[in-house]
Structure 1
Amino acid sequence: MFGIFSKVNSISTDELSQEIKNGGQVIDVREPYEFNRGHIIGARNIPLGQIDSISLAQDKKYFVICQSGMRSRKAYKILRKKGINVTNINGGMLAWKGKTK
């Protein structure tokens, strides 16, 4: 019952703004049509269905986001199992108040 919600390292969208300034890479796990409607500037679109098949640098810091936070939690768990330094963004794009493209 608690599997998807347990032990997820998460930060707020306010904290994400600072992490982006420090060089963190945002991975948006929404579908391309959602991403194209508006996304964080500099974010990379990798839909949740493709997240398990991608290669990411293990020495870089990644932040996963989706629309509300559910898909990004799933992506977080997949990437953590691969040894990736990843953090989930609470509230997703619904909570993001920064600029979008």
Structure 2
Amino acid sequence: MGLLEFLGFGNKSNKIAEFMANGAVIIDVRSAGEFSGGHIKGSKNIPLNTISSKIEDIKKLGKPVISCCASGMRSAQATSILKSNGIEAMNGGGWSSLKSKI
């Protein structure tokens, strides 16, 4: 692993592919209204303001998580919450950009 990858600045597409190969679930942390306006097929909508109360449900999935939102800001917060609760997670960024990488 190179220094940039270690610091989290490596090739995001490679990390997304690795997570997907491991059966990752995509969690869209936008509001239900935003989600209904468009989302990645098969993704789960768990708004950021409710994610802390859904930790046990997410753990039961037994899969790594790629979080996404509109721009990557809320999904970064969600990723931090998930990781602090022992869930393998990464920030996929904006959902439309992530959609083009999976």
| TM norm structure 2 | 0.72
Secondary structure of residue in 1 paired with 2:86:
coil
Whole-angstrom CA distance in 2 between matches of 1:78 and 1:26: 15
Q: Share of identical aligned residues, percent?
A: 36
| Residue in structure 2 matched with residue 57 of structure 1 by the alignment | 59
User: Which runs of structure 2 are paired with 1:1-101 in the superposition (5 Å)?
Assistant: 12=12, 16=16, 19-20=19-20, 22-54=22-54, 55=56, 56-57=58-59, 59-90=62-93, 92-98=94-100
Whole-angstrom CA distance in 2 between matches of 1:31 and 1:39: 11
Residue 96 of structure 1: CA displacement?
3.8
Whole-angstrom CA distance in 1 between matches of 2:97 and 2:31: 18
Mark the runs of 5 or more structure 1 residues left unpaired by the alignment. 1-6
Mark the runs of 5 or more structure 2 residues left unpaired by the alignment. 1-6
Q: CA RMSD in A?
A: 2.7
Of structures 1 and 2, the one with the larger relative CO (CA 8 A, separation 6+) is 1
Whole-angstrom CA distance in 2 between matches of 1:96 and 1:81: 23
Bigger mean CA deviation after superposition, 57-66 or 29-38: 57-66
| TM norm structure 1 | 0.73
Indicate the structure with greater helix content: 2
Q: Report runs of 4+ in structure 1 exceeding 3 Å deviation.
A: 7-22
